[in-house]
Structure formats: structure tokens, C-alpha cells
Amino acid sequence: MGTVDDSPAGRITIGDDVVAEVVGLTVLECYGVVGMAGKRIVNGVARLLGRDGTAAGVDVDRGADGEVAVAVHVVMENGLNLAEVSESLRSRVSYEVERLCGIVVTGVAVHIHDVRRESS
């Protein structure tokens, strides 16, 4: 757990699971992302997580000063420039975590497990 605000009125802490959920929901809103992927590949295939499993595709590593580094495991849409989509995703995740949680993001690593056609 990381402390966001420590004042005479009290303390606010935001757990890593909350940060992971914010990240997962933000990733699913990004253009070019088909869904979150399980962190493990089984028989050469990435498992696409359902909407309820968004945090399962996210790793949060909290630093000594309360900042976080995030890793996301995704399945992206086929036919798009993966580097551009990844950069947009990194920027959006960093912005949303800082805006919603008040936690500084030191880095966002994007792990692309698969490319697929957009799900209907």
C-alpha cells in the first residue's frame, strides 16, 4: 500500500490492487487494444481475460517513495502500428493513474502477447 496524502486530518492510502484496476480499465479504453492478456502463455497462446479480470493483466511495482512502475499484458488489434498504439497506451495509463490516484508513474511497460482481429 502506498500513502498518497499524510496530513494532520488523516492519511489516504491506495492499494496496488486499486492502481491495477485503474490501469486495466484505462487500457481497455485505449484504441487498438482488444483486451487484457493473462501473464502466462499456455501452449503458445495468450489467454484473453474477461472484463472482470482486467487487474490480472497488470503488474504494479511500488517504489520506495510511493511512486509506481506498471507493466501491462495486452492483446492488440491486428493491422495497426503496434509501436504507436503502445506509446499512446503508456501515455494514457501514466496520465490516468496520476490524475485519479495522485501517484507518480515512473514507467509503463507494454507486453504484447498476441494480435487479433477486433472482437465484435
> Is 103:66 a contact under the CB 8 Å cutoff?
yes
| Pairwise CA distance, residues 88 & 96, whole Å | 12
Q: Where are the domains of the chain?
A: 2-116
0.85 surpassed by pTM: no
pLDDT band at 44 (very low <50, low <70, confident <90, very high): very low
C-alpha cell belonging to residue 67: 511512486
CATH superfamily of 2-116: Cation efflux protein, cytoplasmic domain (3.30.70.1350)
What are the pLDDT digits (tens) for 67-109?
999 999 999 999 999 999 999 999 999 999 999 999 999 999 9
Q: What percent of the chain has pLDDT over 70?
A: 80
Contacts by residues 98-101 (CB-CB < 8 Å, ≥ 24 positions apart):
100/22, 101/4, 101/14, 101/18, 101/19, 101/22
